[in-house]
Amino acid sequence: MSVSAGVREPYTLQRLLDVAVQVFTERGYDGTSFQHLSQASGLSKSSIYHHIEGKEQLLRLGLEQALDPLMATITEAEALGGPAIGRLEHLVRRNIEILTERLPYVTLLLNVHGNTETERWALEQRRAYNKAVAAVVQEAVDEGSLRADVDAKTTARLVFGMINSVREWYRPGRGTSPEKLADQVLGLLLDGIRAG
Amino acid sequence: MSVSAGVREPYTLQRLLDVAVQVFTERGYDGTSFQHLSQASGLSKSSIYHHIEGKEQLLRLGLEQALDPLMATITEAEALGGPAIGRLEHLVRRNIEILTERLPYVTLLLNVHGNTETERWALEQRRAYNKAVAAVVQEAVDEGSLRADVDAKTTARLVFGMINSVREWYRPGRGTSPEKLADQVLGLLLDGIRAG
C-alpha cells in the first residue's frame, strides 16, 4: 500500500493511464513491457501493480476512455428523436468533440488490431458503433434528407475515415477549434465543396 | 552470387520487397530485424544481402513504390491544364487508383514517422504532395469552381484523410471497384450527400 521511494509525486490511476496510453501508441501494446511502463511513469513495477492487475487492464481502461463516450452518443442520438439527418449531425459533431478532447485515447482505439481479448472487445464495439451510424445514414436516405444513390455503409466508413484522420494533424489548443472543425467537416459532407 | 540452399524457389528483389513491406507494417520498421526478414522470406541473411545493402534500402525501395507514382500525378495534373477543378478530380482519382493498386506500399508510407533519414525524406515528399494539392484546391476556389469559404489546407487534409482511410477496409478484388469508389468519393466531396 505504500508508494515506492522512487516516485517524485503522488500518482493517480488516471495519470498512470495517460502515460500507458502514450507508451502503447509509441511502442504498440504487444511491444510494451512493464519495464517500459515503469520507466515512462517513474513508478516501480510494484507501485504499478498497486493500481492495476496487469497490462491488459490498463489497455481496457484506456480504450474505455474513448469507447464509453462514443457509444453513449448512439443513445444520445436516439434520445434526440426527430429527422435522421439531425441525429447524424449530432453523431458527427460529438465524434469530433470526443476525438479532439481525448486524442490519445481515440488514437489508441484506432490502432487496435485484435490480438487480445480486450482488443477484440474494442473492435466489436467499433463495429457496433459503425453499424449504428450506418443505420442512421440509411434512415436519412429513406426520409429523403440524403441523396438516394448514397450507399449507407460506404458513406459511414468514408465519413468516419475523414473524421478519424484528423488525429494525424490536429493539435489541441492550436489552430482550428473543435467547433469550427465540425462546421467544416459537416459542410463538406452534407453540401460538398463545389460552388453552388 | 549463389542462392542459399534453404530457398525453395528463385527470389527476385520485388518479391523480397513485398515480404519486407508486410513485415515492416506488422512489426514497425524499428522493430524489424534481419532475422525477421530472413524468416518471412525464407532467404538466408547472406542471400538478402546479395539483393540489397541493408534494411533502410528496403524501406526506401518500398516507399518509392508508393511515392513515385503519387508524385508523378502532380506533374500529370499540371500537364492536363484546364480548370483547376478538373485537375483536382484527376489527383483524387489517381490517388485512389494508386492506393488500391499498391495498398501495402501506401500503407507503409502512411505509417512513416520520421525516425530515420529515409523516413524523413518520405515525410518531406508527402508534405510536398499535400502542398501541391492544397495549391490546386486554392486555384479551384479562386476560379470559382469551389465554394469561397473553403479553406484549402484543411480541405486538402480532410480529402486525403478520407481517401487514405480506405486502406483500413478496402480489400482488392472484393466489393467496390476502384472506379466506383472514386466516383463515390468524388460525389461526396464535390456535392455532398444532402438531397438536392
pLDDT tens-digit profile, chain A (196 residues): 344 444 444 557 888 999 999 999 988 888 899 999 999 999 889 988 888 998 999 999 999 999 999 999 999 999 999 999 999 999 999 999 999 999 999 999 998 988 899 999 999 999 999 999 999 999 999 999 999 988 898 889 999 999 999 998 998 888 789 999 999 999 999 999 898 7
The residue-averaged pLDDT of B1-11 equals 46
Mean pLDDT value across chain B: 90
> A194 φ, ψ to 5°?
-70, 140
What is the pLDDT at residue B11?
Answer: 59
B117 touches chain A (CB under 8 A): no
d(CA B103, CA B162): 15
**Which member of A161, A176, A194 has the closest CB to residue B162?**
A161
The count of CB pairs under 8 A between chains A and B is: 101
d(CA B164, CA B99): 8
Q: What is the pLDDT of residues B102-143, one digit of tens each?
A: 999 999 999 898 889 999 999 999 999 999 999 999 999 999
Q: Enumerate the domain spans of chain B.
A: 13-52, 61-191
Task: Indicate the CATH number for domain A60-191.
Answer: 1.10.357.10
pLDDT of residue B8: 45
Q: Give the residue, B91 or B54, on which the prediction is more confident.
A: B91
Q: How far is CA A151 from CA A6, A36, A69, A160, B187, in A?
A: 57, 45, 27, 14, 12
Query: Residue A27: CB partners within 8 Å, gap ≥ 6?
Result: A36
pLDDT for A182 equals 94
Query: What confidence tier does B149 reach under pLDDT thresholds 50, 70, 90?
Result: confident
Answer whether A165 sits within 8 Å of B169, measured CB to CB: no
Q: Which superfamily, per CATH, for B13-52? A: Homeodomain-like (1.10.10.60)
- Supply the pLDDT for residue B137: 95
Complex prediction ipTM: 0.82
pLDDT given at position A11: 58
Touching check for A144 and chain B: CB below 8 Å?
yes
Q: Measure in Å the smallest separation between the Cα of B10 and chain A Cα atoms.
A: 33
Nearest CB to B145 within list A165, A185, A194 = A194
Question: What pLDDT is attached to residue B196?
Answer: 78
* Chain B interface disruption, residue of A153, A158, A169, A171, most B CBs within 10 A: A158
The answer, yes or no, to whether residue B10 has pLDDT greater than 70, is no
**Mind listing the pLDDT tens digit for each residue in B21-40?**
999 998 888 889 999 999 99
Domain B61-191 is found in CATH 1.10.357.10: yes
In eight-state DSSP terms, residue A146 is B
pLDDT at B9: 46
Q: Report the gap between the CA of B150 and the closest CA in chain A (Å).
A: 7
Is there a contact between B66 and B109 (Cβ–Cβ < 8 Å)?
yes
**DSSP per residue, chain B:** -PPPTT-SS---HHHHHHHHHHHHHHH-STT--HHHHHHHHT--HHHHHHH-S-HHHHHHHHHHHHHHHHHHHHHHHHHH-S-HHHHHHHHHHHHHHHHHHTHHHHHHHHT--S-SHHHHHHHHHHHHHHHHHHHHHHHHHHTTSB-TT--HHHHHHHHHHHHHHGGGT--TTSSS-HHHHHHHHHHHHHH-SB--
C-alpha distances out from residue A15 to A43, A58, A91, A142, A149, Å: 11, 11, 29, 46, 47
* Helix (H) or strand (E) run with residue A57 in it: helix A55-80
Place of cell 439527418: A85
